[in-house]
């Protein structure tokens, strides 16, 4: 190249540098400190920044970002925490390695005793998505018996705020997959567990409750309801698992994100793995039972429309499996998209779509680990129906929660339901 070209090259270089100085620093990402709050006001400025090495954009699903931009959701960033899982659960899960398989004929997992039936997931396995769901169904860290004496289920109108605050008690007893005692199975092995739920307030709901027997088979749950007004027990239909819970926004199938026997769904698809922000180590005091005002009672919620945003918790990066669960034809949803923690069976988020394939509901769970009992606990959850601008937010009185206390299967029965209702 001749010397005459150097002035031109220098002129072009200086011009490019000057032009670059007048543009936004699109390629210069900053590592955000813990405590940074992602909101509609700053999301465009920080999307390319990182937290714990992940870009903010990559930590938000499409629907998460949509909520932040359009529904007032705010996500305070927190450092991720390692959870030391119950050694009994870890040992039981590891013992299943290479010994378990899905038996589609009986709707069971052959070779399963306790813990997660498939401790290692190969993403190339054509049954990978189904195995992830079976891990959640059978391997949740909930304790062999757990009782939540007080939880509230807030019914929230997106414009008017909270319009109902029922209080209930919930108890679950594990019959199969037990981690305490001499045997993982209690009874003849046909039952997976029993549940009691009854309302304590308000007065017009007091005593209303259900008793559920869950089976380790294709058989649908047996569910009985006690109606105190007529002092009668009524057996519910076999399709009750797809019905709404009272007047709330969640179906029976939405409890903890997925509350069906996996074989009741015809198809699963593993979309892949990714990272998201989730309340995996949430605050444990999301509901103050002694509070009087909204702000005192519900410190996690922001007291402004739409009133259901848990903006005062903490969100950390978590790796999840993304699983599409295709529903049976009689289900209100056409599909659910599950965001399942990869380290242990826990669902952080669910998206639900109506029969037309349109986005309908967004669900979230706020979790904290109880090392004394080795169980994962829900501190709070939200099921948001964006089509009717309404939500159901469940908050737990965690101070009264009990796990693995002295109990026996006979404590969970129709008689126990009737006694509680009276």
For 126-166, write each residue's pLDDT tens digit. Answer: 999 999 999 999 999 999 999 999 999 999 999 999 999 99
Q: Can you give the pLDDT at residue 5?
A: 44
Q: How far is CA 83 from CA 35, 163, 391, 412, in A?
A: 21, 37, 30, 31
Residue 24 lies in a domain: no
Is residue 168 in a domain? Answer: yes
- Domain annotation covers residue 69: no
Lowest mean pLDDT among 14-18, 389-393, 406-410: 14-18
Element spanning 297, H or E: helix 294-297
Alpha-helical regions (H) of 124-178: 128-139
Q: Across residues 221-239, what is the average pLDDT?
A: 89
Which region holds residue 35: left if phi is over 0, alpha if psi is between -120 and 50, else beta? left
**Residue 68: inside a domain, yes or no?**
no
Please give the mean pLDDT across all residues of the chain.
Answer: 92
228 within some domain: yes
Report the C-alpha gap between 210 and 220 in whole angstroms: 15
197 pLDDT more than 60: yes
CA separation for the pair 259, 275 (Å, rounded)? 24
Q: What range does the domain containing 262 cover? A: 128-421
Contact (CB, 8 A) for 374 and 116? no
**CATH classification at residue 324:** 2.50.20.10
Question: Whole-angstrom Cα distance, residue 296 to residue 30?
Answer: 36
The domain total for the chain is 1
**pLDDT (tens digit, 9 = 90+) per residue, 257-314?**
999 999 999 999 999 999 999 999 999 999 999 999 999 999 999 999 999 999 999 9
User: 84-99 pLDDT, tens per residue?
Assistant: 899 999 999 999 999 9
Query: What does the DSSP assignment read for 143-155?
Result: -SEEEEEEEEEEE
What element of type H or E holds 347?
Answer: strand 347-353
Backbone angles phi, psi at 193, to 5 degrees: 180, 175
Query: What's residue 27's pLDDT?
Result: 55
Return the pLDDT at 408: 93
d(C-alpha 414, C-alpha 148), whole Å = 19
In this predicted structure, the answer to whether residue 6 has a pLDDT above a threshold of 80 is no
Q: Residue 3 domain-assigned?
A: no
205 assigned to some structural domain: yes
Q: What is the pLDDT of residues 32-85, one digit of tens each?
A: 999 999 999 999 999 999 999 999 999 999 999 999 999 999 999 999 999 989
212 pLDDT exceeds 50?
A: yes
Q: What percent of the chain has pLDDT over 70?
A: 94
Q: Please check whether residue 7 lies inside any domain of the structure.
A: no
Ordered alpha helix ranges (H), 165-293 = none
């Amino acid at each position: 190249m001749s010397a005459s070209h150097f002035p031109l090259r220098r002129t072009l270089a200086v011009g490019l540098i000057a032009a670059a100085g007048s543009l936004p620093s699109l390629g210069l990402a900053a590592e955000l400190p813990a405590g940074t709050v992602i909101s509609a006001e700053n999301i465009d400025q920080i999307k390319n920044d990182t937290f714990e090495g992940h870009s903010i954009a990559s930590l938000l699903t499409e629907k998460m970002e949509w909520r932040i931009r359009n529904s007032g959701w705010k996500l305070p960033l927190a450092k991720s925490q390692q959870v030391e899982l119950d050694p009994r659960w870890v040992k039981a899960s590891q013992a299943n390695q290479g010994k378990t398989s899905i038996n589609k004929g009986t709707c069971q997992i052959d070779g399963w005793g306790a813990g997660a039936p498939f401790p290692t997931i190969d993403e190339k396995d054509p049954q990978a998505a189904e195995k992830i769901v079976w891990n959640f169904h059978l391997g949740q860290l909930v304790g062999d018996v757990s009782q939540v004496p007080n939880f509230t289920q807030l019914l929230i109108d997106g414009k008017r705020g909270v319009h109902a605050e029922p209080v209930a008690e919930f108890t679950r007893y594990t019959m199969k997959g037990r981690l305490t005692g001499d045997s993982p199975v209690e009874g003849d092995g046909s039952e997976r567990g029993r549940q009691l739920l009854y309302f304590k307030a308000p007065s017009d709901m007091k005593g209303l409750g259900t008793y559920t027997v869950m089976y380790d088979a294709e058989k649908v749950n047996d569910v009985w309801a006690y109606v105190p007004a007529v002092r009668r027990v009524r057996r519910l239909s076999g399709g009750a698992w797809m019905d709404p819970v009272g007047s709330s926004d969640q179906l029976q199938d939405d409890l903890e994100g997925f509350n069906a026997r996996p074989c009741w769904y015809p198809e699963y698809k593993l979309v892949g793995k990714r990272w998201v922000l989730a309340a995996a180590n949430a605050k444990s005091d999301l509901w103050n039972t002694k509070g009087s005002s909204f702000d005192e009672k519900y410190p996690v919620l922001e007291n402004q429309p739409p009133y259901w945003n848990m903006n005062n918790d903490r969100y950390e990066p978590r790796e999840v499996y993304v699983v599409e669960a295709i529903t049976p034809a009689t289900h209100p949803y056409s599909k659910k998209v599950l965001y399942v923690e990869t380290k242990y069976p826990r669902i952080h988020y669910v998206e639900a779509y109506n029969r037309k394939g349109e986005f309908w509901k967004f669900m979230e769970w706020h979790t904290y680990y109880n090392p004394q009992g080795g169980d994962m606990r829900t501190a709070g959850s939200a099921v948001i129906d964006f089509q009717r601008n309404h939500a159901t937010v469940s908050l737990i009185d965690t101070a009264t929660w009990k796990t693995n206390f002295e109990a026996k299967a006979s404590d969970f029965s129709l008689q126990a339901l009737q006694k509680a209702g009276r």
